[in-house]
Structure 1
Amino acid sequence: MGIRLDGVSKVYDDGTVGVAELDLTFAAGELTVLVGPSGCGKTTTMKMINRIIEPTTGRIVIGDDDVTRADPVELRRRIGYVIQNVGLFPHQTIRANVGTVPRLLGWGKEETRARVDELLATVGLDPAVHGDRYPGQLSGGQRQRAGVARALAADPPVLLMDEPFSAVDPVVRERLQAEFLRLQATVRKTIVFVTHDIEEAVRIGDRIAVMSEGGRVEQFATPAELLGRPANGFVADFVGADRGLKRLAVTGIDAEDLEHPPVLHAEDGLADARAALQRSGARWAVVLDDADHLHGWLSLDRAAGSGTVGAAARRMEAWVPRDASLKAAFATMLQHEAGWVAVLDGDQFLGVLTPESLHSALRRSVEGRVPETAGAASA
Structure 2
Amino acid sequence: MIRFEHVTKRYADGTTAVDDLSFEVAEGELVTLVGPSGCGKTTTMKMVNRLVEPTGGSIHVAGRDIAATDPVDLRRRIGYVIQQVGLFPHRTVLENTATVPRLLGSGRAAAHARAAELLDLVGLDPRTYGDRYPDQLSGGQRQRVGVARALAADPPVLLMDEPFGAVDPVVREHLQSEFLKLQAQMRKTVLFVTHDLEEAVRLGDRMAVYGQGRIEQFDTPATVLGAPVSPYVADFVGADRALRRLAVTPVEEGHLERPPVVRIDDPLPRAALDGSRAVVVDEDGRPYGWLPAAPAAKGTVRELARPMDARVALGASLKEAFSAMLRYDAGWVAVVAGGGEGDGRYLGVLTPDRLHEALRRSVGEAADAGVTPR
Q: TM-score if structure 2 supplies the norm length?
A: 0.90
Q: Residues 267 and 147 of structure 1: is their aligned pair in 2 closer, same or farther, counting only changes over 3 Å?
A: closer
Identify the residue that residue 201 of structure 2 maps to in structure 1.
202
Q: Who is 1:286 aligned against?
A: 279
The alignment partner of 2:356 has SS state of helix
Query: Is 1:357 aligned to 2:354, yes or no?
Result: yes
Deviations 1:153-204 (A, max 9, x none): 1111111111111111222222221221222122211111101001111121
Paired residue total: 361
Alignment deviations for residues 201-226 of structure 1 (CA, whole Å, 9 cap, x no partner): 1121111101011x111111112112
The letter for the 1-side match of 2:219 is A
2:294 to 285, 294, 301: 301
User: C-alpha distance in 2, partners of 1:197/1:300?
Assistant: 45
Partner of 2:372: none
Q: Is the 8 A contact 1:9 1:20 kept in 2?
A: yes
Q: Which residue of 2 aligns with 1:101?
A: 100
Secondary structure in 2 aligned to 1:287?
A: strand
Deviation at 1:39, TM superposition (A): 0.5
Give the Å deviation of 1:251. Answer: 1.4
User: Retained in 2: the 8 A contact 1:269–1:306?
Assistant: no
Cα distance 1:16–1:299, how it changes in 2: closer, same or farther (>3 A)? Answer: same
Instruction: Classify 1:23/1:96 alpha carbon distance in 2 versus 1 (closer, same or farther; 3 Å).
Output: same
**What's the counterpart of residue 185 of structure 2?**
186
Alpha carbons 1:7, 1:22 under 8 Å: kept: yes
Query: Which residue of the partner structure matches residue 370 of structure 2?
Result: none
Q: CA deviation at 1:3?
A: 0.4
- State the distance in 2 between where 1:224 and 1:262 align: 34
Q: Report the Cα offset of residue 40 of structure 1.
A: 0.3
1:43 aligns with 2:59: no
Match of 1:227 in 2: 225
AA aligned opposite 1:331: S
CA contact (8 A) 1:219 1:226 kept: yes
Quote the residue 2:323 is aligned against: 331
Q: Report the more deviating stretch, 203-212 or 237-246.
A: 237-246
CA distance in structure 2 between the aligned counterparts of 1:292 and 1:326, rounded to whole angstroms: 23
8 Å CA contact 1:320–1:341 kept in 2: the answer is yes
Matched, 1:156 2:152: no
Runs (5+) with no aligned partner, structure 1: 370-379
Take 2:137 and 2:300, find their aligned partners in 1: how far apart are those partners?
56
Aligned partner of 2:359: which letter?
L
Moved more, 229-238 or 261-270: 261-270
* Pairing of 1:3-18 with structure 2 (within 5 A): 3-18=2-17
**Structure 1 residues 266, 240: CA separation in 2 closer, same or farther (over 3 Å shift)?**
same
Alpha carbons 1:4, 1:25 under 8 Å: kept: yes
> Helix, strand or coil for the counterpart of 1:300?
coil
C-alpha deviation, 1:100, in angstroms: 2.1
- Of residues 237-246 and 9-18 in structure 1, the stretch that sits farther from structure 2 once superposed is 237-246
**Cα distance change on mapping 1:259 and 1:189 into 2, 3 Å:** same
Match of 2:87 in 1: 88
> Counterpart amino acid of 1:234?
Y
| Counterpart code for 1:18 | A
Greater displacement, 132-141 / 65-74 = 132-141
User: Which whole-Å CA distance do the structure 1 matches of 2:260 and 2:42 have between them?
Assistant: 55
Is 1:367 matched up with 2:359?
A: no
Between 239-248 and 3-12, the greater mean CA deviation after superposition: 239-248
CA contact (8 A) 1:46 1:194 kept: yes
1:170-181 matched pairs, under 5 angstroms: 170-181=169-180
Compute the TM-score of the two structures, normalised by the length of structure 1. 0.89
Residue 304 (structure 2) pairs with residue 312 (structure 1): yes
Match of 1:238 in 2: 236
Identity of aligned residues (%): 62
Deviation of 1:315 after TM superposition, in Å, equals: 2.9
User: 1:276 corresponds to which residue?
Assistant: 272
Root mean square deviation, CA, Å: 2.0
How far apart, CA to CA, are the structure 2 residues paired with 1:306 and 1:94?
60
Aligned-residue offset at 1:126:
2.6
Q: Is the 8 A contact 1:225 1:368 kept in 2?
A: no
Q: Which residue of 2 aligns with 1:376?
A: none
**Structure 2 residue runs without a partner (length 5+):** 338-342, 367-374
Q: Secondary structure of the residue that 1:88 maps to in structure 2?
A: coil
